[in-house]
Amino acid sequence: MLVQTAQGEVVGGASANGARTWLGIPYASPPDGPLRWHPTKPPSPRSETLNALQHASWCPQITNGLDSLKGIEKGVLRGEEDCLYLDIYAPSDASGSFALPVMVWIHGGSNVWGRAEQYDGSKLAEAGNVIVVVVQYRLGPLGWFAHPALEDGVANFALLDLVQALRWTRNNIAAFGGDPDAVTLFGESAGANNVLALLAMPQADGLYRAAIAQSGLPASFPLEIARDGRTSQIVGAIPAAQAFTDSISPDASALRDASLEAIFGAYRDGRTPGVIRDGTTLSDRPLAEAIAAHQAGRNLPLIIGSNRDEAKYLLAFDPAMTRKALFLFPVARDADHYNAVSSYMTGVWRAIGVSEFAQQLAEAGTGPVRTYRFDWDEGARVGLSDLGHLIGAAHSLEIPFVFGHFENFLGRLDKRLFTRRNAAGRMALSEGMMTCWTRFAADGPDALLAGGKCPAWSAIEAGGRQHTMVFDTPRDGGSRMQAESGNLDSLVSELATDPVLDKDNRRCALAGRLTRTFGLLRPGLAQELTAECPG
């Protein structure tokens, strides 16, 4: 299908299910050369028709263990700086005369990894009668870099990429059959963190009307940490720049002249921060506070949620927590310990990122807030490995259910998790989640009270007891509203007395893990958890 955009003509194709696709459309000028570490610029006009038939190059990133599941070598720098592209998926009958709701997906990957080609929006578009836009954005040190030599005081270059993608969408999506006034943001993990950051950015105002944050945290880094690198995990922009320019005080030109290999090499022993309180794109206050203040009285419909076993995506591949039975099958070294660590880590994640945050927004009057928990844990047994226990409802596992795609998600693990035996239940659950997501995008929060494939889903009330939507298969009780259980104080109390953690310094090891993961979000948590630990 030929579409006329503000930059020129675009020709797309079709997916296997008939949905219309346009892949690899530039929404910005390439952020390389003099535009590296520069606020995002609009794309230039084209005189020739763009054949939008294949995904764009990845943004520069270091491949990881998830890549290795797909046969890609781990630990290799891949990608090109000319990477600010998006993919569009539309129903098979969509045309420029339509005005369909638009869902803009922001991928996860700790803000250092990920690309648009991992997310096929064709089934979601076709099933929900929506336009799905999948966006790439600058990653790692190219997207998040707080160096004082750079102009404008900007550190969140990736967020400015996303704002530009939303501007491009607003200006062009009508030609693809979308309604520019009906844009819903949705994203997972770091992508959800970025969705939340956009809710606090004045530059993004008017470019969306609703948002969904899947397994995100309202996390942001103070400018001094992002700049100076004062933690054991974070490499700040100043020490990194000294390493990759071999200069104590490099200027902007020296920074922009450095090679990608040198830049990413400076982060081999630590990571770049994500969302930064730079005082320019985001205010200098914790992100949850910034969102509550910026959205107060704006009536923003919002869905936030997490998975029941978030932490198991880390624990399942941690040799301290699992071993190979018969040299082949991963199993928990100690099932009780494995479950306890997962429960506490996931519980703190949910308390900070969902239940407490939702209550904070409700009390600020930002608009209707709904929460959910994803519970699917019907992965198959493989030899001695019980994937239902080992992985369970782990971090990111809800993504294929939201998109309706169970292929090419975790590479060779897909056929182990998603089998014929669990097909009927997971497809029913996927259909229900797709209905909830697209109904929310199309008709707003009132549509979620109607019931049907998406059960009636009420918003939380400020000061009242919270209820959340639990998403699960009919075999395990189906999707239903349920009272929210547990809070941060009760979790800390339970951890202090849990007999499973009594031996081998387990309690202090877990306290250290929780502090490293959540300490910036809840500074007092470190003192509570480690009060009786040595050192």
Average pLDDT of the segment spanning 130-145: 98
Q: What is the pTM of this model?
A: 0.97
Q: Does one domain contain both 445 and 514?
A: no
Residues 126, 259, single domain; the answer is: yes
Give residue 230's pLDDT.
62
How confident is the model over 107-127, as pLDDT tens digits? 999 999 999 999 999 999 999
Residue pointed to by tokens 């599941």 = 69
* Rounded distance between C-alpha atoms, residue 277 and residue 155, angstroms: 8
Evaluate whether 142 touches 34 at the Cβ level (below 8 Å): no
What is the model's pLDDT at position 317? Answer: 87
Per-residue pLDDT averaged across 63-92, rounded?
Answer: 96
Active site residue 310: yes
189 is catalytic: yes
For residue 324, what pLDDT is reported? Answer: 85
Distance CA 226, CA 148 (A): 11
**516: enclosing H helix or E strand:** helix 506-518
- CA-based R_g, the chain, Å: 23
100 and 85 Cβ atoms separated by less than 8 Å:
no
pLDDT tops 90 at residue 475: yes
8 is a domain residue: yes
Given pLDDT bands bounded at 50, 70 and 90, which one contains residue 233?
A: confident
- 344 with 205, same domain? no
**3-class DSSP assignment, residue 281:** coil
Among residues 189, 351, 361, which one has the least CA distance to residue 275? 189
Q: What is the pLDDT of residue 327?
A: 55
Q: Note whether residue 287 is domain-resident.
A: yes
Q: Does residue 503 belong to any structural domain of this protein?
A: yes
Same domain, yes or no: 417 and 378: yes
Q: Count other C-beta atoms under 10 Å from residue 462's C-beta.
A: 13
* 30: number of Cβ within 10 Å: 17
- Give pLDDT tens digits for 308-360: 999 999 999 899 999 987 656 689 999 999 999 999 999 999 999 999 999 99
**pLDDT at 183 exceeding the cut of 80:** yes
Query: In the listed set 240, 273, 293, which residue is the last one of a domain according to the structure?
Result: 293
Q: Are 92 and 181 contained in the same domain? A: yes
What whole-number distance in Å separates Cα of residue 46 and Cα of residue 35? 19
pLDDT at position 521 over 80: yes
Predicted pLDDT of residue 148: 96
Q: List for the chain the helix, strand, coil content (%; round to 5).
A: 40, 20, 45
For residue 389, which of 308, 470, 324 has the smallest C-alpha distance? 308
Q: Distance between alpha carbon 202 and the CA centroid of its chain, in Å?
A: 21
198 and 127 housed in the same domain: yes
Average pLDDT over residues 176-181: 98
What pLDDT was estimated at residue 464? 80
- Side chain identity at residue 160, one-letter code: L
Q: Which residue has the higher pLDDT, 182 or 444?
A: 182
Residue range 358-414, pLDDT digits in tens: 999 999 999 999 999 999 999 988 877 889 999 999 999 999 999 999 998 988 889
User: Residue 535 falls within a domain, yes or no?
Assistant: no
- Contact partners, residue 81, CB within 8 Å, separation at least 6: 30, 31, 32, 36, 59, 60, 142, 260
Sign of CA dihedral 138, 139, 141, 145: positive
Q: Do 134 and 252 fall within a single domain?
A: yes
The answer to whether residue 535 scores a pLDDT higher than 70 is: no
Measured CA distances, 77 to 62, 74, 109, 188 (Å)? 4, 9, 15, 23
Looking at the predicted structure, is the pLDDT value of residue 523 above 80?
no
Q: Are residues 355 and 456 in the same domain?
A: yes
Contact 308, 469 (CB under 8 A): no
| pLDDT tens-digit series, residues 263-290 | 999 998 899 999 999 999 999 999 999 9
Q: Is residue 1 part of a domain?
A: yes
Pairwise CA distance, residues 46 & 5, whole Å: 10
> What is the residue-averaged pLDDT of the chain?
94
- Catalytic one among 117, 126, 188, 310? 310
State CA 190 to chain mean position distance: 4
- Residue 69 pLDDT > 90: no
> No. of H helices and E strands in the chain?
20, 22
Q: Which structural domain, as residue segments, surrounds residue 96?
A: 1-293
Note whether 170 and 278 are same-domain residues: yes
Task: Answer whether 480's CB lies under 8 Å from 494's CB.
Answer: no
Predicted confidence at residue 245, as pLDDT, reads 98
DSSP E strand boundaries for 416-525: 467-471, 480-483
User: Which is catalytic among the residues 38, 395, 405, 467?
Assistant: 395
Which domain-ending residue is among 293, 312, 327? 293
455 band by pLDDT with thresholds 50, 70 and 90: very high
Q: Six-digit token pair at 265?
A: 């090499």
428 pairs with which residues across the strands?
A: none
**Is residue 209 helix, strand or coil?**
coil
State the residue for tokens 């009594």: 502
Contact 178, 99 (CB under 8 A): yes
Same-domain check for residues 278 and 302: no
Q: What are 189's two structure tokens?
A: 């993990």
Judge whether 412 lies within some domain.
Answer: yes
Tokens of 157: 């270059």
**pLDDT category, 446, cuts 50, 70, 90?**
confident
Residues 262 and 360 occupy one common structural domain: no
pLDDT for 76 beyond 90: yes
Q: Residue 415 in 3-state DSSP?
A: helix
Is the confidence at residue 486, as pLDDT, over 90? no
In the listed set 293, 320, 346, which residue is the last one of a domain according to the structure? 293
On whether the CB atoms of residues 180 and 9 are closer than 8 A, the answer is no
Strand partners, 22: 88
Under DSSP, the state recorded for 123 is: H
For the cut 60, the answer to whether the pLDDT of residue 298 exceeds it is: yes
pLDDT surpasses 60 at 252? yes
Q: Are 135 and 116 in contact (CB under 8 A)?
A: yes
More confident: 317 or 185: 185
Residues making up the chain, counted from first to last:
535
Q: How many CB atoms lie within 10 A of CB 465?
A: 8
Catalytic residue from among 189, 283, 343, 355: 189
Structural domains in the chain (count): 3
Q: Tell me how crowded residue 405 is: count the other CB atoms within 10 A of its CB.
A: 18
Give residue 383's pLDDT. Answer: 77
CB of 111 closer than 8 Å to CB of 190 = yes
Which of the two residues, 526 and 471, has the higher pLDDT score? 471
152 and 202 assigned to the same domain: yes
Please indicate whether residue 55 is annotated as part of the active site: no
pLDDT of residue 325: 78
- Dist. CA 59–CA 49, nearest whole Å: 24
